[in-house]
Structures are given as structure tokens and as C-alpha cells.
């Protein structure tokens, strides 16, 4: 038996509507929404009395998905500090390639996205940044991360595109 694909990444959120808007602004499409509960959910996630809302977001190419989940019961818990450093154990980020990184960052900021640091250049390969998400002014007055991980956004430079075209040309 071999691995066929990576299907999705789960992000547990407090505000499902805001999380959907954030990922839609990034360019993902809502694939579907549902509410799950019952014994099959309890046994598949190892919790009791689960009731959760789920939104599945899909990348434009249809190959990547992010599952956004809002737990009603049992309520979500924070497993580590909000300000966990990048070298903390566990999943630290999810990365998307975009066109027009400056515009994308500006649009994500309108949805509460905050940069960790600034947009940086990696050699002549990428311009990239990490963004944590979503302000929750109603509950805390401060930033609430989607999860312990950040969203990394990268834009390939034109140099890489030209070089890869030359390398693949007959």
C-alpha cells in the first residue's frame, strides 16, 4: 500500500466565519460545510459528545484543502501559548504560493492578518512572509491565531520562472 495524496490540514478555530473569510481572501474556495456529531465522530477523534461545524476550503488548483473546524462541544482548548516560537515542536505553518504578494498581504490585513516580521527575499527564488491571523476584538481585544501554526505566503520571482522554462525546454 502506498500514499496516494495528502488530503487536507485541519485548523481548529474559534470564529469559523472569520476564518473562512481569511482563507477566501487568500484565494481558496469554499468546497462545502457541514455539522458533525454522534458516535462515529467521537470515535474518530477520540473525544466524547462532539458537535462541530466544518468548512472545507480548496486551493484553486483543486489539489490542496484546509479543513476549518469550530468545536461547540467539547469546547476547543489551547495546547500551548499564543506566542509559541517558530521552533516549538509541532506543525508550525502551512504555505501557499501566490501572485502579487504585496496585494495579498494588504488584503489579508483587512481580515485581521498580521505579519510575523516582514516580507523577505530568499535568494532570487522567493519573496515570502509569515502571517498569523484573525483579530477577535469581541472576546479578547487582541490577536487570536488560527492555530499554533502560521500561514506562510510565498511569491516566486520571475528569475525562477525563466530558469525553470529554460531547464525544461528541449
Cα separation, 165 vs 62, whole angstroms: 24
For the chain (170 residues), the mean pLDDT of every run of 10, in chain order, is 85 90 93 95 93 96 93 89 75 82 88 83 84 49 42 64 41
pLDDT digits (tens, 9 = 90+) for 29-77: 999 999 999 999 999 999 999 999 999 999 999 999 999 999 999 999 8
pTM: 0.77
pLDDT of the residue at 138:
36
Can you list the domains of the chain with their CATH numbers?
A: 1-78 (3.10.180.10), 88-170 (3.10.180.10)
Per DSSP, the three-state class of 36 is strand
3-state secondary structure 76-125: CCCCCCCCCCCCCCCCCEEEEECCCHHHHHHHHHCCCCEEEEEEEEECCC
Whose cell is 470515535? That residue is: 43
Strand pairing of 126-132 and 150-156?
antiparallel
pLDDT of the residue at 81:
72
Amino acid at each position: 500500500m502506498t500514499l496516494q495524496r495528502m488530503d487536507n490540514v485541519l485548523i481548529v478555530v474559534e470564529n469559523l466565519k472569520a476564518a473562512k473569510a481569511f482563507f477566501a481572501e487568500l484565494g481558496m474556495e469554499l468546497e462545502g460545510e457541514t455539522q458533525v456529531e454522534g458516535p462515529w465522530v467521537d470515535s474518530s477523534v477520540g473525544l466524547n459528545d462532539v458537535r462541530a461545524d466544518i468548512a472545507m476550503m480548496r486551493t484553486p488548483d483543486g489539489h490542496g484543502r484546509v479543513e476549518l473546524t469550530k468545536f461547540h462541544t467539547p469546547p476547543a482548548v489551547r495546547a500551548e501559548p499564543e506566542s509559541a516560537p517558530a521552533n516549538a515542536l509541532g506543525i508550525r505553518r502551512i504555505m501557499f504560493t501566490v501572485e502579487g504578494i504585496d496585494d495579498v498581504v494588504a488584503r489579508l490585513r483587512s481580515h485581521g492578518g498580521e505579519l510575523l516580521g516582514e516580507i523577505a527575499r530568499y535568494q532570487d527564488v522567493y519573496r515570502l512572509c509569515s502571517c498569523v491571523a484573525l483579530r477577535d476584538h469581541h472576546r479578547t481585544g487582541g490577536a487570536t491565531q488560527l492555530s499554533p501554526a502560521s500561514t506562510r505566503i510565498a511569491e516566486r520571482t520571475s528569475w525562477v520562472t525563466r530558469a525553470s522554462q529554460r531547464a525544461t525546454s528541449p
